[in-house]
């Protein structure tokens, strides 16, 4: 529902709280006057800009988690979970502060109880999401995007190459099953034979005990191929049996099926579900980064200065490594970002068509996580 429709059914007490927050001058005893005044205030560009500018880092985090989630209705548990993520650094006060964040969101006119529904259901007016997000985006670009009109002679856009390489991997196994080491990975010579057919060249990993948390064999395979392998394994196109990995009947059927965009979309969804266990903020980051890099090249440094405060360490993975290797690098492999370098060798990113179309309709906040082990 839009703001005007919601305000008509909103409790007079909340209307008074919102009016006091924005300093509305109107007859507090007239609901009609209250609604008229609030509509004017909540939609005013200057008011929106001031609200966004005054947010602390934790409040801004909560705001983005709230407004980037496309659900029309959320439960109290959903909202408190978002507050909990935003307040990760304040663990001792998380529950009490989380409820305060929700109360503040209601005073700001962002969140309203849903009428005629089960108690504990809340909604965000559809028509205030975009103005608030754009207000924050304009402020961000004033700070970070000045002089960001880079003219790159070369850049990399992998598009749907990962989907093509899934077929290459299945065809590789179609010739014959591949033996596995005692650790459960393909021998390096077989990896090298396979990798030469793939669109993006990777090298077999040296043994690294610290690599875990991002898939079934993340400790045995390089990042991109690890995701590719896990996607095939999850869909039961390949199976590990009797010390070897082999193509299944479902895998043969996949090879005979024409490419459809649904394969590409399922791969992105799989990556988000697989990595979200280690990176709880991934649904927000995957929506936010293409917004920041829409229509222009944005430096990795600008992204880091903005996003690192909202990324927590995962065992041996520091926030900077997570942003660089687990988020941005994988978004490039998935065709959601293109990447290039400026004359100084700084990494730059730009949103692709895929991240501006399908991804903007997709709501990763509603997905459950996947654990393959």
Please write the tens of the pLDDT for every residue from 113-155.
998 766 789 999 999 999 999 999 999 998 887 555 667 778 9
Note the pLDDT of residue 95.
Answer: 72
* pLDDT, average across residues 312-323: 94
Give the single-character DSSP code of 365: G
Cα diameter, the chain: 80
Averaged pLDDT, 234-255: 97
Q: Of 316, 345, 349, give the one whose Cα is nearest residue 330.
A: 349
Predicted confidence band at 303 (pLDDT cuts at 50, 70, 90)?
A: very high
> Burial letters for 324-360: b for 16+ Cβ neighbours within 10 Å, e otherwise?
eebbbbbbbbbbbbbbbbeeeeebbbbbbebbeeebe
pLDDT confidence of residue 94? 64
Asked if residue 190 lies in contact with residue 178, where contact means CB atoms within 8 angstroms, the answer is yes
Please tell me the least confidently modeled range out of 54-63, 161-170, 201-210, 294-303.
Answer: 201-210
Strand partners, 245: 178, 240
229: nearest Cα among 282, 173, 278, 156: 173
Q: Residue 209: its pLDDT value, please?
A: 74
> CA triplet 347, 353, 359: central angle to 5 degrees?
95
Q: Rounded to whole angstroms, what are the CA distances from 320 to 64, 180, 185?
A: 20, 33, 28
Contact between 3 and 36 (Cβ < 8 Å): no
Return the minimum-mean-pLDDT range out of 38-52, 139-153, 329-343.
139-153
pLDDT of residue 93: 61
Read off the tokens for 78.
């959903």
Task: Calculate mean pLDDT across residues 208-228.
Answer: 92
> Residue 17: what pLDDT?
94
- The average pLDDT across 59-72 equals 94
CA 361/CA 359 separation, integer angstroms: 5
Q: Is the pLDDT of residue 50 over 80?
A: yes
| pLDDT band of 339, cuts 50, 70, 90 | very high
- The alpha carbon dihedral of 215, 221, 223, 226 has a sign of negative
Confidence of residue 92 (pLDDT cuts 50, 70, 90): low
Check residue 24 and give its pLDDT. Answer: 85
The closest of 28, 20, 27 to 109, measured between CA atoms, is: 20
**Beta strand spans in the chain (E):** 73-75, 112-113, 121-123, 155-156, 178-179, 238-241, 244-247, 298-299, 337-341, 347-351
Average pLDDT of the residues in 305-326:
95
So what's the pLDDT on residue 120?
A: 86
Confidence category of residue 229, pLDDT binned at 50, 70, 90 = very high
Task: Kindly tell me the sign of the dihedral angle through the C-alpha atoms of 51, 366, 76, 119.
Answer: positive
Q: How far apart are the first and last CA of the chain?
A: 42
| Average of per-residue pLDDT across 26-35 | 85
Q: What is the mean pLDDT of residues 274-282?
A: 95
Position 90 pLDDT exceeds 60: no
Token pair for residue 149? Answer: 């009109």
How many angstroms from the chain centroid is the CA of residue 276? 9
pLDDT value at 367 more than 60: yes
Tokens at 9, concatenated? 């059914």
The answer to whether residue 208 scores a pLDDT higher than 80 is no
- The mean predicted confidence, pLDDT, of the chain is 92
pLDDT tens-digit map of 144-199? 875 556 677 789 999 999 999 999 999 999 999 999 999 999 999 999 999 999 99
Bridge-partner residues for 341, per DSSP? 347
Q: Residue 91 has which token pair?
A: 């663990």
């Amino acid at each position: 529902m839009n703001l005007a429709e919601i305000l008509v059914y909103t409790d007079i007490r909340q209307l008074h709280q919102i009016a006091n927050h924005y300093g509305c001058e109107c007859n507090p005893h007239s609901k009609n006057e209250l609604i008229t005044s609030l509509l004017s205030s909540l939609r005013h560009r200057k008011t929106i800009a001031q609200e966004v500018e005054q947010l602390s880092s934790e409040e801004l985090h909560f705001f983005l988690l709230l407004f980037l989630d496309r659900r029309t209705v959320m439960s109290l548990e959903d909202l408190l979970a978002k507050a909990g993520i935003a307040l990760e650094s304040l663990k001792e006060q998380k529950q009490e502060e989380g409820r305060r964040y929700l109360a503040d969101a209601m005073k700001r006119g962002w969140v309203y109880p849903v009428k005629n529904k089960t108690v504990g259901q809340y909604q965000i007016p559809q028509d205030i999401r975009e103005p608030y997000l754009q207000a924050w985006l304009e402020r961000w670009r004033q700070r970070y995007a000045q002089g960001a009109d880079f003219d790159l002679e070369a850049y990399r856009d992998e598009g749907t190459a990962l989907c093509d390489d899934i077929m290459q991997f299945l065809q590789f196994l179609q010739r014959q099953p591949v033996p596995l080491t005692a650790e459960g990975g393909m021998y390096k010579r077989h990896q090298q034979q396979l990798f030469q057919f793939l669109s993006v060249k990777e090298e077999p990993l040296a043994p690294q005990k610290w690599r875990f948390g991002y898939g079934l064999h993340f400790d045995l395979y390089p990042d991109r191929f690890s995701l590719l392998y896990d996607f095939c394994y999850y869909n039961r196109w390949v199976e590990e049996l009797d010390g070897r990995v082999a193509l299944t009947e479902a895998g043969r059927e996949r090879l005979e099926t024409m490419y459809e965009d649904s394969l590409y979309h399922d791969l992105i969804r799989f990556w988000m579900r697989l990595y979200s266990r280690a990176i709880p903020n991934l649904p927000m980051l995957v929506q936010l980064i293409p917004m920041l890099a829409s229509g222009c090249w944005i430096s990795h440094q600008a992204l880091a200065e903005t996003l690192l405060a909202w990324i927590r360490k995962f065992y041996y993975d520091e926030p900077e490594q997570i942003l660089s290797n687990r988020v941005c690098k994988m978004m490039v492999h998935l065709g959601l970002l293109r990447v290039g370098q400026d004359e100084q060798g700084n990494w730059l990113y730009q949103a692709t068509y895929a991240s501006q179309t399908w991804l903007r309709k997709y709501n990763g906040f509603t997905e459950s996580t996947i654990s393959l082990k």
